Structure 1
């Protein structure tokens, strides 16, 4: 008889717990988010008594639940879902390490990151390198890793830095061997490409990834340092899919892997609806009716991608840059293209729709997202900066401008 372990996973949920996206014909949002996600995961857990549930980082920053509670609401939702372990993602720092520490302390949650550099900051008391789960008298060992991309460029992350994740993973694979770990898993917030490099340089069984928002429908197989196979998975973003892995604990082999589209589930979780209604009242008390009140109606959508091949202008980028220039009475406004996430859809536009155009970041002064900075510089200097930036990115638009 096969001893089956169910492993559920998600990543980069970014506080997107409420339904969002374009309006449907029955006046509902296209993406149902966590209300259907919870029904699917609860149903699967009831079918498989032996189960684990992992989040590969960036649970925070991206919608009003995070901005209302600075991460506490998002952690409560993950606890309700029954998540077993969470990797530390880079966006967990969007409100700074003090706020992250306070949220983790408040919800009594630890995150996983073996490559976080030891500092004097109290956050280190809420971060663990790994967790061990004992199932069927076997040790399931899970290592957490965090991207190093923002070590020197993210002011909100200071003074926290991260060490080389591959070197750290190599060290801990020896630790796991000494601990007699049966199934060795990495919970990675490094991105899909780095995960392939990680797999080749180590000998873990499974890498559950995040950070790059990659949808891996067919499991990736990489030859590892032991000449065996390391499997790589990632579950897209924003509660849109449920990652489902079935693992044979009898022979320590993969049985099956699939992504389950949340859109295809007709059922919803009533307890999650009740929870969201309570959360919505907290958000409305702080920011107003951001999800339902219409502030504008659009006859046509405003796209978040270039209108044609070779075009560097993005309609939502023009909108945001123009708004920044108007609001600050500046001569010129610039935003980074990568911060633009969702378009503005046809029909009713709410405050949250506006927020979703550029949802990341956090302003500690007003609890909205990234702060606008106004500086004085020569036009020739700006010209040189923009030219150099675009030279690096080639045909990919790196900034959107107004003025």
Structure 2
């Protein structure tokens, strides 16, 4: 086990000055203290709402000075989020973790945001500092070999601690596919089997206490791969140090015999788990930034200076004011850009649409850019009214994605919107903010999964158009058979999140325009001011919950059964090639156009043929009625 420097002299001075010492540190002989962080996202500077990395390092020293054995762990998403770390593509984050003397880290999905080559540079810094990256379920593609380390063992006085790591398979779609193309992420039962094998191997090595260091989270959308699912599926894990869902678990959460802990995010809290080596008793506690300042009050001086110097350099680079907004721009997650239309979502999509159209004009391309989509997860913060600096811009849009143009059919666009709102009103990073079109999501209609998208944790919708209706595009009626060119960011164009269908378009052109630059150009076109036009969302997206008509509401009371279909009197065809076979179909309970097309035409995606044939009696393709007779051209 690595040991930090002792600071008894500092402790004594703190006592003389009246600094309150933490209760848990009264007598730490015979104790193991697991200090844990997760989802730091670049918030390494000490502030009113952040303990800062200098506080984390000092806390480790503090407990070691009290006689405890200390293990310091991070559960991922440490290298991306603020310009402090984004400016170096995450490299500075690794330097801070190394200086704080961490014992191990697991990767989060955002470690891949700057590309795999940048991640390998980060890994090299950690390796030089003897900090292993442990992710047993992240394999070299085509092999059973972990790309990084699977586990590590920390020897303490009287206790051997085994630690293995797991990263969410959602990384496959929450990061650009090109960043993970050489990796396989074990998921679901395969991940659980991998974890059980790790526990068994560590126990065979004589480990007394087993920790899973995971970036899995507990969000509903992650069901089947959450830390709570892991605790239920795997025997022998004593402690799960978790991240990903930014969940605050003060005191921990017990699932069976396993304790799960998570601090939230942004170093607003630092977590501690004190383990009595003799009895095995565990006590979990979160220390907030305010608690730390009031009751601990010491910070690692060298780390504080290191972060301050880097921050000053970054501030100098990004301090330029480039625009003013007269209104607050909403980039919050939930409710916000991942659940509904917001004014910042509108502004971002408008900027993509503007950049795409300007690019087409400059390049003399014979296409029109019709629509723009911005995934809500790509918008990372709100913008308050006032001056906007480059630092603000790159904090809100940190990824460095470029604007891409993709030509798809109306049917494909409908599938994109259906897939990207599959759990609405529950938050999802893929939620599509839009420009150039309007659409409605009816959350009362059940969503059904179709086939799983390749190399993705997401599924195609079984019934595109069952929940989503595209109202108009460019002020004109939506045409499922037409081609539309869509401006998106490169993450979406590569099939990230729920946008796999964009990889199947008939045309794709990466403009090379970085998304932040697109926003600057768009603001410039507005005279450098975002005015009251964006005070409220524009009404492009409607979220409704309208019950689908059922037999009780659509069939007269005296009618107990739908009438049998009547064969139409049609003139006999001269040849089968000249006139298609036609029949009348009577709608029954549970039908949708997709299901009827699947049953009668052998392909649910042919529902549009039925809709086009019967437009006079179907005003809304999401609403058909029991007893209604539809013409089917077979």
TM over 0.5: yes
The residue that corresponds to 2:213 in the other structure is: 187
Conservation of the 8 A alpha-carbon contact between 1:146 and 1:165: no
Query: Superposed, which structure 2 residues align to 1:225-374 within 5 Å?
Result: 229-254=257-282, 256-266=283-293, 267=297, 269-280=300-311, 283=314, 289-290=317-318, 292-296=319-323, 298=325, 300-305=327-332, 312-329=340-357, 330-359=369-398, 361=399, 369-374=400-405
**Of 119, 127, 151, which aligns to 1:130?**
151
Q: TM-score, normalised by structure 2?
A: 0.54
**Of 163, 166, 181, which aligns to 1:142?**
163
Conservation of the 8 A alpha-carbon contact between 2:94 and 2:125: no
Q: Is residue 200 from structure 1 mapped to residue 232 from structure 2 by the alignment?
A: yes
Compared CA separation, residues 48 and 6, structure 1 to 2 (3 A): farther
Relative contact order (C-alpha < 8 Å, sep 6+): which is higher? 1
CA RMSD, 1 decimal? 3.0
Structure 1 portions without partners, runs of 5+? 21-28, 224-228, 362-368
The residue that corresponds to 1:222 in the other structure is: 255
Q: Is residue 115 from structure 1 mapped to residue 137 from structure 2 by the alignment?
A: yes
- Alpha-carbon separation, structure 2, partners of 1:120 and 1:198: 24
Who wins on radius of gyration, i.e. which is larger? 2
Conservation of the 8 A alpha-carbon contact between 1:147 and 1:165: no
Secondary structure, in 3 states, of the residue corresponding to 2:184? coil
Compared CA separation, residues 218 and 110, structure 1 to 2 (3 A): closer
Compared CA separation, residues 394 and 124, structure 1 to 2 (3 A): closer
The residue that corresponds to 2:619 in the other structure is: none
The residue that corresponds to 2:201 in the other structure is: 175
Compared CA separation, residues 47 and 344, structure 1 to 2 (3 A): farther
Q: TM-score, normalised by structure 1?
A: 0.82
Compared CA separation, residues 199 and 401, structure 1 to 2 (3 A): same
Secondary structure, in 3 states, of the residue corresponding to 1:62? coil
- Alpha-carbon separation, structure 2, partners of 1:327 and 1:18: 35
The residue that corresponds to 2:478 in the other structure is: none
Compared CA separation, residues 120 and 77, structure 1 to 2 (3 A): farther
Compared CA separation, residues 239 and 42, structure 1 to 2 (3 A): farther
Conservation of the 8 A alpha-carbon contact between 2:51 and 2:270: no
Aligned residues: 373
Structure 2 portions without partners, runs of 5+? 1-26, 220-225, 358-368, 437-634
The residue that corresponds to 1:83 in the other structure is: 102
Q: Is residue 160 from structure 1 mapped to residue 199 from structure 2 by the alignment?
A: no
Compared CA separation, residues 333 and 264, structure 1 to 2 (3 A): farther
- Alpha-carbon separation, structure 1, partners of 2:314 and 2:285: 35
- Alpha-carbon separation, structure 1, partners of 2:335 and 2:105: 38
Compared CA separation, residues 200 and 120, structure 1 to 2 (3 A): closer
The residue that corresponds to 1:24 in the other structure is: none
- Alpha-carbon separation, structure 2, partners of 1:157 and 1:215: 29
Compared CA separation, residues 301 and 40, structure 1 to 2 (3 A): farther
The residue that corresponds to 1:395 in the other structure is: 425
Q: CA deviation at 1:149?
A: 1.9
- Alpha-carbon separation, structure 1, partners of 2:157 and 2:64: 16
The residue that corresponds to 1:226 in the other structure is: none
Q: CA deviation at 1:128?
A: 1.0
**Of 55, 80, 83, which aligns to 1:61?**
80
Secondary structure, in 3 states, of the residue corresponding to 2:87? helix
